[in-house]
Amino acid sequence: MWAATVPITGRSPPSLPITGCGYGGRVNRLATEASPYLRQHRDNPVDWYPWGPEACAAAGARDVPVLLSVGYSACHWCHVMAHESFEDGEVAAAMNASFVNVKVDREERPDVDAIYMDAVQAMTGRGGWPMTVWLTPRGEPFYGGTYYPRATFLALIDALTTAWRDRRAELVKNVGPLRQAITRTARVTAGDEDPAPGLVDATVAALVKAFDPNWGGFGGPPKFPSTASLELVLADLVRRPASHAAAPALTAVVATTLDAMASGGMYDHIGGGFARYSVDERWLVPHFEKMLYDQALLVRLYARATAGLAGRFDTGRWRQVVTETVAFVRREMTQPAGGFSSSQDADSPGPDGHDHEGLFHTWTPGEVVAVLGPGPAATATMEWYGITEEGNFEGRSIPQRLPARGRWARPPEIEAARRQLFDARARRPRPGLDDKVVTEWNGLMIAALAEAGSLLGEPEWIDTAAAAAQFLLDELRDGRGRWFRAWHADGTPRGRYPALAADHAVLVDAFTRLGEATGEARWTYEALDVADTLLDHFWDPAEGGLYTTPDDGEALIARPKDLFDNATPAANSTAVAALYRLGALSGEQRLANHADRILRLVGPLVPRAPAGFTAALAGLGLRSHGITEVVVAGDRPDLVAVVRERWRPGVVVAWGERVDSPLWEGRQDGTAYVCERYACQAPQTTAEGLRAQLDGG
| Structure confidence by residue, pLDDT tens digits, 395-412 | 999 999 999 998 889 999
- Alpha-carbon distances of 614 from 190, 206, 534, rounded to whole Å: 18, 11, 22
Query: In which order are the strands placed within the sheet that holds 290-291?
Result: 290-291, 343-344, 433-434
Arithmetic mean of pLDDT over the chain: 93
Kindly tell me if the per-residue pLDDT of 153 is higher than 60. Answer: yes
Q: Which of 288, 267, 241 is nearest to 75 (CA)?
A: 288
In a 10 Å sphere around its CB, with 0-12 CB exposed, 13-18 middle and 19+ buried, how is residue 8 labelled?
Answer: buried
Question: Bridge-partner residues for 334, per DSSP?
Answer: 340
What average pLDDT does the segment 636-662 reach? Answer: 97
Closest CA to 664 of 580, 584, 590: 584
Among 24-38, 271-285, 605-619, whose mean pLDDT is lowest? 24-38
Task: Write out pLDDT tens, residues 609-620.
Answer: 999 999 999 999
DSSP type of residue 224: -
- Count of other CB atoms within 10 angstroms of residue 589: 12
23, pLDDT greater than 70: no
Task: Give the model's pLDDT for residue 697.
Answer: 55
**DSSP-assigned states of every residue in 333-369:** IB-TTS-B--EE-SEEE-TTSSEEETTTT-B-HHHHH
In contact, 300 and 227? CB cutoff 8 Å = yes
Per-residue pLDDT for 461 more than 80?
Answer: yes
Preceding peptide of 493 cis, ω within 30°: yes
Q: Where are the beta strands (DSSP E) in 72-179?
A: 100-105, 131-135, 141-145
Of the candidate ranges 487-491, 499-503, 660-664, the one whose mean pLDDT is the lowest: 487-491
Helix axes 316-328, 247-263, angle to 10 degrees: 40
Q: What whole-number distance in Å separates Cα of residue 97 and Cα of residue 223?
A: 41
Residues 6+ apart with CB under 8 A from 162: none
**Distance (Å, whole) CA 72 – CA 79:** 9
Calpha distance 372→41 (Å, rounded): 40
Identify which of 346-350, 632-636, 674-678 has the greatest average pLDDT: 632-636
**Distance from C-alpha of 220 to C-alpha of 226, rounded to nearest angstrom:** 13
Output the pLDDT for position 492. 64
Structure confidence at residue 580 as a pLDDT band (50, 70, 90): very high
Q: Residue 423, exposed/middle/buried by CB under 10 A (0-12, 13-18, 19+)?
A: exposed
Contact, 482 vs 533, CB < 8 A?
Answer: yes
- 14 pLDDT band, cuts 50/70/90, is very low
Q: 611 with 206: CB under 8 angstroms?
A: yes
Give CA–CA dist 86/490, Å, rounded: 24
Which residue, among 74, 78, 85, has the nearest Cα to 44 in the 3D structure?
85
Beta bridge partners of 627: none
pLDDT reported for residue 20: 26
What is the average pLDDT across 516-527? 98
More confident: 302 or 26: 302
Backbone region of residue 675 per phi and psi (left: phi > 0; alpha: psi in -120 to 50; beta: other values): beta
The closest alpha carbon to 333, from 424, 270, 272, belongs to 272
Q: What is the pLDDT of residue 18?
A: 28
Using an 8 Å Cβ cutoff, are 1 and 56 in contact? Answer: yes
Break the chain down into helix, strand, coil percent, rounded to 5: 50, 15, 40
- Could you tell me the pTM of the whole model? 0.94
End-to-end CA distance of the chain: 59
**Residue 145, φ and ψ in degrees, nearest 5:** -170, -155
pLDDT at 8 over 90: no
Residue 80 burial by Cβ neighbours in a 10 Å radius (0-12, 13-18, 19+): middle
CA atoms within 13 A on the CB side of 401: 21
Alpha carbons 427 and 423: distance in angstroms, whole number: 7
Identity of the residue numbered 279: V
Q: Are 123 and 178 in contact (CB under 8 A)?
A: yes
| Least reliable range by pLDDT among 113-117, 490-494, 570-574 | 490-494
Q: Which of 482, 509, 686, 502 is nearest to 585 (CA)?
A: 509
Q: Which segment of 354-358, 455-459, 473-477, 591-595 scores lowest on mean pLDDT?
A: 354-358
Q: What is the predicted pLDDT for the residue at 311? A: 87
Closest listed residue to residue 292, CA positions, set 223, 254, 339, 360: 339
**What is the b/e burial string over 677-687, where b = at least 16 CB atoms within 10 angstroms of the residue's CB?**
eeebbebbeee
d(CA 521, CA 285): 45
pLDDT of residue 677: 82
Which of 41-45, 141-145, 187-191 is the least confident region? 187-191
Instruction: Give the percent of the chain with pLDDT over 70.
Output: 96
CA separation for the pair 347, 429 (Å, rounded): 10
Q: Which pairing describes strands 66-71 and 100-105: parallel, antiparallel, or unpaired?
A: parallel
What is the dihedral sign for C-alpha 429, 400, 276, 578? negative
Measured distance CA(128)–CA(178) in Å, rounded = 17
CB under 8 Å to 168, separation ≥6 — which residues?
none
pLDDT tier, 27 (very low <50, low <70, confident <90, very high otherwise): low
**Do residues 93 and 153 touch, judged by C-beta distance below 8 A?**
no
Q: Among 16-25, 286-295, 381-390, 522-531, which stretch is predicted with the lowest mean pLDDT?
A: 16-25
pLDDT computed for residue 679 by the predictor? 87
CA 168/CA 426 separation, integer angstroms: 54
Residue 385 to residues 262, 397, 401, 408, 425, Cα–Cα distance (Å) = 13, 9, 6, 10, 15
